[in-house]
Structure formats: C-alpha cells, structure tokens
Amino acid sequence: MEFKGELDVRDVMIDELAQGKELIKQLQSLLMDASVSMEKRQFLMNQIISIYNKALNLIRFNGEPIVPDPSFSSLFGGVPQNSPFSVAGNSHMSCRSSDVDEEQLRPSKKRKTLPRRVEMVKMNNGEELPGDGYSWRKYGQKFILGAKFRRGYYRCTHRHSQGCAALKQVQRSDEDPTVSQVIYVGDHTCNTTIQITGPSTSTHEPRVHLTLTQHPPQQQPQIPTKPQLTVQTEELNNGDQDKFYFRCFSFSTAVIDSDNADVDVAGWLLDESPVTSGSDQFQASPGKMNTPESDIRQVFTLEELDILDPNFGFDNPDLFI
C-alpha cells in the first residue's frame, strides 16, 4: 500500500495547524464575552483538541492512515471521538469535510467525489432540524450499519425545474440524539429567492423586506456555498414601530442593501437559543420557509441595526436574544 508523500503530509499538517490557530483566535474572543455559552466554548475547544490530535498523529505515523473510531460511521469520516459531535448546544457549527476526510491522508483510487461540507446541527426542541435556507425534498432513508438512527437523503427541491444537483444527508448522533450530522454534497446551481415582508400597519405599506437569495456559483465552487440575505428598507422614520424579525440562519455573508448604501456584512449567525416570540407579526411571501414560523424571532429594531453603518457586524452577540 502506498501513502501520500512527506510533502503532502506536511501540507495537511500546515492546514490543520493553521485552522487550529484560527479556532484559538475565535475561542479567545469568545472567552472575553460573558454572554457566550459554555457549550459553545466547549465546542470550540474540542475542535481545537481534535485538530491538534490529528496533527500529532500525522507526525507520529508519518502520514499513515489513522484508524477511525468505529463509533463514528463512515458518515463522520473518521472524526476522533473527542470531536465536537458529543457537545450539544450549537447549531450549524460547520467545517469543511476535507478536515476530516481520510483522503487527505492517503491517495485514493476512487473517482473524485462532489465537494462536501459537514455540519453538526443541534435540533430545535431536540426534535426538528433548523432550516438552512434551502428547500429540500426527501428521497430516501436508510439504516446504516452500526448506527442507531436512519440516515435521511435529501435533494434540492429545484432539481427538476432548475437541474440543481445539491444533496444533503442527515443522520442523528448515536450519542446525542438532539444533534444531527448534516452533510451537504455538491453546490446549489439553482437561483432561488425567498422574500419576507416586514410588519405593516393599516396606514403604511410594509417597510422592510428580507430576501434570501441563492445565486448560482460564478465559478467552480470548492465547497458548497451558503445563501445570501438581503435586507431592503423603505420609509425608515417610524421609531419603535420599525421592529422587524430576523430569520435564524447561518450565513457566510449577508448583504444589507439599503436605499443608498450597500453594506457587506461578514460573519456567522448562530442559532443559540429557542425561538420565543414574534411569529404572529410575520409574513412570508411568495415562497415559503422550510422551517416553521416558530423559528423566526425578533432580534433588533431598525435603530439598533443602524442600517447605514458600514461597520455593522452581525457577529455581535448582543444582537441575539
């Protein structure tokens, strides 16, 4: 049997350690913030430990394959047992599947597969998967050897209408049934828009529109992308009544598109607590969200949002109730 050369192993190690460094930076800022939950910190710490374990193993075994823990089925790509998987409390903490793909550690004769992204998702009420911004159609489920729960197979709803080839697989964790591992396979090539119109009164037209748009990729994507959020505003002059409701997605990038300003907002939005209120003032049109309205929560007023501030950051934890 043949394994990757020393150079490849070195590259993988550099990747791993660089990622570890990034996570430590994240952890550092989380530790400064008292409002961040213990689980979230634990999650990051476990990720860091996992990465350093892998790097150590690479050094110890000079790139030879590390036997994955059998309690992680093939779905988990050989993530060590001390991975974040056992840690509850975080939705949509994601990592590139290549992080855990043993193909990185040895050459494969298998044909190249579609890009994959792996996410650990904490389910709402321990039962239902929070929405990810896409519309999916289930096409199968199967018991996988060694797993307690069936794996669900989903494809993009727009597979036939737009030829979108995106797939996802969902499997509940054996250890923590309130957590599911979601694997996104391939990228969306569909162009879908979900529009949410803000609250209106009898005397005013709606003033805020949230539009979730998935654009087809411009180039060959390396990993599946996430949708963009556009916040469009009109007549921002009504003080307290300008509250609106924000969907709990995780985004890699959101775009605020105001009358005269286009503001790019980088950062991740994380679902951290159960949704509580506000769904009665919410309208969705013309499409529908693929999660229940209870998944919508009031987050901030327009004033708080400070929509014209180009430095506005969605990753400010104070925004989230």
Interatomic CA distance for residues 161 and 190, integer angstroms: 9
Nearest to DNA of 34, 145 (CB atom): 145
Give, in degrees to the nearest 5, the angle at Cα 198 between 200 and 123. 140
31-90: contacts with DNA (CB under 7 A): 73-75
Nearest to DNA of 38, 112 (CB atom): 112
Pick the piece of the chain touching DNA (CB under 7 A) from 86-94, 134-142, 272-280, 313-321: 134-142
Nearest to DNA of 152, 224 (CB atom): 152
Tell which residue, 185, 187, 121, 182, has the closest CA to residue 152.
182
| Nearest distance, CB of residue 76 and DNA, angstroms | 11
CA distance readout (Å), 24 to 43, 48, 104: 12, 7, 23
Q: Does 151 bind DNA (CB under 7 A)?
A: yes
Q: Does 173 bind DNA (CB under 7 A)?
A: no
Q: Does 167 bind DNA (CB under 7 A)?
A: yes
Nearest to DNA of 73, 90 (CB atom): 73
DSSP 124: B
Task: Among 52, 149, 153, 312, indicate the residue that binds DNA (CB under 7 A).
Answer: 153
Q: Does 142 bind DNA (CB under 7 A)?
A: yes
Interatomic CA distance for residues 30 and 44, integer angstroms: 9
Longest dimension (CA), the chain: 75
Nearest to DNA of 72, 245 (CB atom): 72
Q: At a CB cut-off of 8 Å and minimum separation 6, what does 147 contact?
A: 73, 75, 171, 174
Q: Does 310 bind DNA (CB under 7 A)?
A: no
Q: Does 1 bind DNA (CB under 7 A)?
A: no
Alpha carbons within 13 A on the beta-carbon side of 173:
22
Q: Does 138 bind DNA (CB under 7 A)?
A: yes
Q: Which residues of 270-303 are buried (b: 16+ CB within 10 A; e: fewer)?
A: bbbeebeebeeebeeeeeebbbeeebbbbbbebe
Size of the site for DNA (CB under 7 A): 24
Interatomic CA distance for residues 245 and 278, integer angstroms: 7
Nearest to DNA of 155, 243 (CB atom): 155
| Nearest distance, CB of residue 53 and DNA, angstroms | 25
Binding site for DNA (CB under 7 A): 73-75, 109-111, 135-142, 144-146, 151-153, 155, 157, 167, 169
